[in-house]
Structure 1
Amino acid sequence: MKKLIRLFIFLLAFPVFSQQGGMWIPSLLEGMNESEMQNLGMKMSAEDIYSVNNSSLKDAVPHFNGGCTSEVISPKGLLLTNHHCGYGQIQSHSSVENDYLADGFWAKNFKEELPNPGMTVTFIVEISDVTDQVLAGTQEASNEEERQQIIEKNKQDVVNNSPKETWQTNRVSTFYDGNQFMLFRVETFKDIRLVGAPPSSIGKFGSDTDNWMWPRHTGDFALFRIYANKDNKPAEYSKDNVPYTPKHFLPVSLDGVEENDFTMVFGYPGTTDEYLPAVAVEQLIETINPARIGIREVALKEQDAFMRKDQEIKIKYASKYARIANYYKKWIGESQGLTKTDAVGIKRNLEDQFTQTLAQKGLKDEYGHILNDFEEAYADFKDYDLAYNLFSEAFLRNVELLRTGFQLYQLEQVYNFRGEQSFNDRKNNFLKDTQSAYKDYSQKVDEKVFEKVIAFYAEEMPKEFLPDVYENINLNKLTQQIYSQSALTEYDKLAALLEGDAKEVLKKLQEDPGYDFVKNNAIAFYSEVLPSYRKMRLEIDALQAEYMKAIVETSPKEARIFPNANGTLRVTYGQVKGYSPKDAVYYEPVTHLEGVMEKYVKDDYEFDVPQKLIDLYEAKDYGQYAENGKLPVNFIGTNHTTGGNSGSPVIDAYGNLIGLNFDRVWEGTMSDIYYDPAISRNIMVDARYILFIIDKYANAQHLIDEMQLVHPKKKQTPKRKKAKKKRKSKRRS
């Protein structure tokens, strides 16, 4: 295990490029990582980034609502994240009369800040290695299933028996495909209020056309605030709560960036698979991604047609559409990037080298079976993996009636296996949770999406996994029947359907055509697909863990292997750099407000610009945020990021905020599987553009006054009082 911690960049997945790629555990930066970062220009130490005994950068970077990252940027708990990370909350506070998506929102004081029930942010208190405790006793397991049961029991014992304060929580996460386990002690705040958000024409400028693209000109940011109880501890929402006083907050740099500047992105990357064998990547490109892309494409096409014609539907579906479109486009870019770089061919060549190394080191008997086993396992797994993804996309993600029906199917299973009390508890929670979903539901939109998605599903699903309902199906007639007769299309009808005791409810459910269709599909999935899928997945995961172990043992001492992303706090470092995606094309690393105006199309769904921003541009009224008369908007760097890094702070050599991570370039979306430092770039909002929008566009100077603005390159801090006087003087003139 010491060797695992010592090794970081994976030699068998891509050629070694010094100081490029990798998502590092912040508690393990001392040594090679620290030296590399300092060679790139960092002026901090590893202790400045992660410390248990003293405040450090980690104390300013909480996990945002379980899916994004955020950062504290003032001593009053002011929180910065992406506009798209807070999109659902901005939408929930919006109406046709007060459309914060279209017009933006800016609280003038604490009282105007808007609460968000259910929203959380989570800080890391301490990270520690618990591998020995978690793997204790696994050597005696007779099979992989028993081994995993021992591991799960040990993980729970570690969680239960490790020290923590009453307001804190312990979690154990898995690293290196099950070869290392880390304990995270965390504290979660539950009173998070919306402070400010630019209009979508700034925060989502370029929308789906520009998503994953460069050059980019998007002000993708929003502001929230953490509230705590009078003791500065986590608490549920209360009017008596007060703004949180953080252990650390990030000063904001006014100096901006230039090519080759050091950049560090701190955040919670979701999932990567850098160590997949060639056969798995090939299957992803040829089978899995086309299926996922295909279903989302037909769903998005129908939603988009309605959203362009109806403002009310546009508001209702804005967040859902963006969520579906995000990974739809990402998967397209990922497949194209993997194909263009011949990632499969590169991996096969490196696997040949791996086989040769095993022979040289006398490890062929121990590990020589792995690659052949992968080929056989993935061949058997292919149809089940396809079926699993098709069912997930159709019944859990893209059709709302089907998702509701599937939740009702799960409710029926609760009754069958746990009895009426559990059924009633689950039913009440379901009704409560579902009510808000129907606020943003349109039957006519969902009906069209249903018909197109199920047509694709029936065509692409392996025939042996389809229930009898698909035999001689008249899809148009089925769609009309379901959406005209099912209670699942309206909340009041659904609530009435669930009235009564368990037996009464279940009897009514069986008579509902929407539920009947879902149940037939769910039974087929649970009987024909899921058992084999889980068994094969477990076997492949065990093989992947063995492969990871073999990689470590066969790698030279100077090699460095980083763990795949798993939603835990990581550091990735690099530099501001342009790139060349194809012959004779080179992209500069920084964009400016001029580019916004070049893309501007009046009243366009994606490229409209607020009149006030146009006025500020024409007057060149940029305040202290311009550089050489131009206002920076976005920049790119070589940081290795993925989903979950949305909202991550981009930190300079001194520990100051210089930007806000929000995307990757399309050519480099394959970096979840194969990182190529030549074209993999992350996209960031320049901190000066954020400040400019808050200050000059929103006139929310009280938020600027809350922050600590610094000039690290000039080795001085601007006087906030002088800045305030300057602003007042300008307003008087």
Structure 2
Amino acid sequence: MSLPSLRLTASLAALGAATVVLSAPATSARADEGMWTFDNFPIATVNEKYGTNIDQAWLDRVRNAAVRLQGCSASLVSGEGLILTNHHCVVGCVQDLSSAENDYVKNGWMPATREEEKKCPGQTAEILTDITDVTDRVVGAGAGLEGAAFVQARAAEIDKIQKEVCGDDQKLTCQVISLYRGGQYKLYKFRKYDDVRLVFAPEFQAAFFGGDPDNFNFPRYALDAGFLRIYEDGKPVATPNHLVWNANAPKEGDVTFVAGNPGSTSRLLTMAQLEALRDQQLPLTLIQTSELRGRLLEYSTTGEEAKRVSVDPIFGLENGFKVYYGQQGALTDPAFMATKRTAEQELRQRVAADPALAQRIGDPWAELERVAAAQRDLYLPYRQLEAAAGQRSSLYSYAKSIVRAAKERAKPVAERRAGYSDADIASLGRRLATETPISNDLEKIYLDFWLSKTREYLTVDNTDVKALLGKESPEQIAERLVDGTRLADPAFRAQALAMTPEQLAASGDPLIAFVLANDDAAQAIRTQWESAVSGPTSRAGEKIAQARFAVYGTNLYPDATFSLRLSYGQVKGWTYRGVTVTPFTEIGGLYERNTGAEPFNAAEDWMAAEGKVNKSTVYDFVSTNDIIGGNSGSPVINAKGEVIGAAFDGNIHSLGGSFGYDGELNRTVTVSTAAITEALRTVYNQPRLLRELGVRR
């Protein structure tokens, strides 16, 4: 696979707003570093360095063709709503559309006609249309407040801003995004499409040839590509603003741009925050991810259906584990940590040398050191009871959403938490109505694992653990809740969402009853977290952002926030410890690498086409573009604004990319449009797609 989608990093992302906040100084972007916003892209720098002629019109065309999916990125590549992304970004949809009789993950999804394109449950596609600065309003909302009150006031104002612009319009998404960790707040307005259909996906083995051993490595021979289409009123959406398909491979040294939605970076953490991440959060995440992966791998050996339904979850866990392992490696590298320490000291010294600035911002670094102490005590209960409660269980998520909506709806509108207006609850209802296949076996594994880890980390004698478990074991609770709940039925979910807390309690559903019984404790630890950690952290982060602007100016890129960004670079290999890696692989290398045994067994369709396929076609390539998880599926674009590939991975050196960028070693891995075209033409016989892409047969 590739870059992790956001759902694969949920265990950290749920804590990120409070624990992973930028706060150390920034140096000027080096080499091709930077995930730049479209309203602050360094046009002159790029044109001067690479001899390009990009301008605002070029940026607007790219922005209008960029698409944000659930946890991934994509691009429009035809005038009829056709979207290019990665296979690993659509494999969840492929699995949802599959059955024991028709395993499209294994065999591929290749409908002969447009009428056979099927809707992906729960998938949405969003295109950014407007960016508005709302910094003064958001910052003003928290003036004079501290702790949980500060967090809630900010959240309420953000919610108000979003509602003012998008209202109840289901075709729009409004999102206030924090940039520079409190230095700026921008309202991003998107055009949203919720009828997204699967057009094409190759076999899993073609998309993920080499499996976990090749993941985050290069050379690669993976066709990690898939196509979707956006529909509205039952018809494909007309999309004149799309990228032109270029079926030719780039050459070494060619300039490349990546437009996508990088999920989260933490490149300017204070030393106190880096140490907390290194010493507490990442080790726990690594341990839990590893153990859960082991449970799923064991389950997958119990039968063909178990293997089929566990493919995507195992895929995600393995990818996530590798990411966390790489992050931990960066944070345990003395040289890396010394660089971060020096950068922090530089900013602090610059602030101290300016009495007016020092008086204005105080000492936010000391504040964050105090927060780190509180965080150490609260992290485990907050993680296990609230942020990561239920682990990956869809059924638990449904129950939690329904219970909290009912409790908030019972309050006067003015007293509700942000995100629980009547319009928000109606939107939740639409999401709950989506029919998605659920594996009871996996649900039991997830709940059992969460409960057993909660008991292990918080101890048997913990009051909240006693309330969760009662006299039952985690295994017994998981089996009882999953077998007894009706929440797999969308019709029942709709009924439950309309109930009061009292009606929910009387509904007889065991999972809803379980969440109701334990939700007060979960929300109490959340309030403690906001008061002692996220509130003070946000305050300190805002002050450090002000210091950074004062010292370094504003011509810097902000951390990634799963908002649209553009990076620039060039097709280029790298040298490490005397070994030079060239920037391209060719299709012929797939057959040379094929052993016939998993995970190096070439897909059957590719083996059948060996005598016909052009083996000299560039398959995958690398470039110096700066990307991170969430960039999966991002279009890789040439200087003309044509799409030449879809980014799907980074090399092994990029795993520390959350905390820094090394232009000598960090590389983006891309599947080329040349390879996709050759596959559609010769391997899969897809003339209708080729015609739509403007490729001659």
Same fold per TM (> 0.5)? Answer: yes
The 3 A distance-change label for structure 1 pair 523 and 176 is same
Q: For 1:634 and 1:347, how far apart are their aligned partners in 2?
A: 33
Matches within 5 A, 1:253-652: 253-340=246-333, 342-362=335-355, 363-367=357-361, 369-391=363-385, 395-399=389-393, 403=397, 406-407=400-401, 410=404, 413=407, 433=432, 436-437=435-436, 439-443=437-441, 445-448=442-445, 450-461=447-458, 467=464, 469=466, 478-483=473-478, 485-486=480-481, 488=483, 491=486, 503=502, 505-507=504-506, 509=508, 512=510, 522-527=519-524, 529-535=525-531, 536-555=533-552, 560-581=555-576, 583-602=577-596, 604=598, 606-617=599-610, 619=611, 621-622=613-614, 630-652=616-638
Partner of 1:123: 127
| AA matched with 2:687 | Q
8 Å Cα contact 1:14/1:674 also seen in 2: no
Q: What percent of counterpart residues are identical? A: 23
The 3 A distance-change label for structure 1 pair 657 and 28 is same
Q: For 1:185 and 1:73, how far apart are their aligned partners in 2?
A: 22
8 Å Cα contact 1:387/1:465 also seen in 2: no
CA drift of 1:449 comes to 5.1
- Stretch of structure 1 that moved more, 672-681 or 458-467: 458-467
Q: For 1:42 and 1:396, how far apart are their aligned partners in 2?
A: 52
| AA matched with 1:89 | C
CA drift of 1:266 comes to 0.4
| AA matched with 2:541 | Q
Task: Specify the SS of the correspondent of 1:27.
Answer: coil
| Residue 27 in structure 1 maps to residue 39 in structure 2 | yes
Equivalent in 58, 71, 92 of residue 63 of structure 2: 58
Q: For 2:25 and 2:470, how far apart are their aligned partners in 1?
A: 46
Equivalent in 97, 105, 116 of residue 101 of structure 1: 105
8 Å Cα contact 1:107/1:113 also seen in 2: yes
Equivalent in 45, 70, 75 of residue 71 of structure 1: 75
Gaps of 5+ in 1: 1-9, 228-234, 623-628, 710-719, 725-733
CA drift of 1:361 comes to 2.7
Partner of 1:683: 669
Q: For 2:488 and 2:54, how far apart are their aligned partners in 1?
A: 60
| AA matched with 2:350 | T
CA drift of 1:152 comes to 5.1
CA drift of 1:262 comes to 0.9
| AA matched with 1:638 | T
Partner of 2:418: none
Q: Deviations over 1:558-585 (max 9, x none)?
A: x84211122221111112222345x334
| AA matched with 1:75 | G
RMSD: 3.8
Partner of 2:183: 179
Q: For 2:681 and 2:646, how far apart are their aligned partners in 1?
A: 17
8 Å Cα contact 2:410/2:500 also seen in 1: no
Task: Specify the SS of the correspondent of 1:85.
Answer: helix
CA drift of 1:208 comes to 3.2
8 Å Cα contact 2:677/2:690 also seen in 1: yes
Q: Deviations over 1:307-357 (max 9, x none)?
A: 234221222233333334332321111111232364333222222222322
CA drift of 1:81 comes to 0.8
Q: For 2:508 and 2:150, how far apart are their aligned partners in 1?
A: 40
CA drift of 1:658 comes to 1.2
CA drift of 1:675 comes to 2.4
Q: For 1:689 and 1:518, how far apart are their aligned partners in 2?
A: 49
Q: For 1:263 and 1:349, how far apart are their aligned partners in 2?
A: 32
| AA matched with 2:200 | G
Equivalent in 671, 675, 679 of residue 657 of structure 2: 671
Q: For 2:117 and 2:587, how far apart are their aligned partners in 1?
A: 29
Task: Specify the SS of the correspondent of 1:292.
Answer: helix
CA drift of 1:553 comes to 0.9
8 Å Cα contact 1:40/1:262 also seen in 2: no
Q: For 2:297 and 2:135, how far apart are their aligned partners in 1?
A: 48
Task: Specify the SS of the correspondent of 1:467.
Answer: helix
Gaps of 5+ in 2: 1-21, 414-420
Q: For 1:247 and 1:406, how far apart are their aligned partners in 2?
A: 41
8 Å Cα contact 1:198/1:693 also seen in 2: no
| AA matched with 2:548 | I
| AA matched with 2:242 | F
Partner of 1:5: none
The 3 A distance-change label for structure 1 pair 368 and 598 is farther
CA drift of 1:434 comes to 8.2
Q: Deviations over 1:632-652 (max 9, x none)?
A: 221222212122211110001
Q: For 2:206 and 2:488, how far apart are their aligned partners in 1?
A: 39
| AA matched with 2:52 | K
Matches within 5 A, 1:4-15: none
CA drift of 1:22 comes to 1.0
Q: For 2:105 and 2:153, how far apart are their aligned partners in 1?
A: 49
CA drift of 1:164 comes to 11
Q: For 2:431 and 2:39, how far apart are their aligned partners in 1?
A: 41
Where relative contact order (Cα < 8 A, 6+ residues apart) is larger, the structure is 2
Task: Specify the SS of the correspondent of 1:586.
Answer: strand
Q: For 1:126 and 1:171, how far apart are their aligned partners in 2?
A: 11
Task: Specify the SS of the correspondent of 2:45.
Answer: helix
CA drift of 1:549 comes to 0.9
The 3 A distance-change label for structure 1 pair 526 and 147 is closer
Q: For 2:90 and 2:195, how far apart are their aligned partners in 1?
A: 14
Task: Specify the SS of the correspondent of 1:50.
Answer: helix
Q: For 1:593 and 1:36, how far apart are their aligned partners in 2?
A: 35
CA drift of 1:63 comes to 1.4
CA drift of 1:395 comes to 2.5
The 3 A distance-change label for structure 1 pair 260 and 353 is same
CA drift of 1:303 comes to 1.1
| AA matched with 1:110 | R
CA drift of 1:706 comes to 1.6
Q: For 1:376 and 1:502, how far apart are their aligned partners in 2?
A: 38
Matches within 5 A, 1:67-216: 67-132=71-136, 134-135=138-139, 137=140, 141=144, 143=146, 155=158, 158-159=161-162, 168=172, 170-216=174-220
The 3 A distance-change label for structure 1 pair 482 and 405 is farther
Partner of 2:16: none
Q: For 2:345 and 2:25, how far apart are their aligned partners in 1?
A: 12
Q: For 1:162 and 1:429, how far apart are their aligned partners in 2?
A: 19
Partner of 1:49: 58
Q: For 1:269 and 1:549, how far apart are their aligned partners in 2?
A: 24
8 Å Cα contact 1:577/1:636 also seen in 2: yes
Q: For 2:401 and 2:153, how far apart are their aligned partners in 1?
A: 31
8 Å Cα contact 1:292/1:390 also seen in 2: no
8 Å Cα contact 2:443/2:482 also seen in 1: no
The 3 A distance-change label for structure 1 pair 334 and 200 is same
Q: For 2:57 and 2:50, how far apart are their aligned partners in 1?
A: 15
The 3 A distance-change label for structure 1 pair 706 and 215 is same
8 Å Cα contact 1:334/1:668 also seen in 2: no
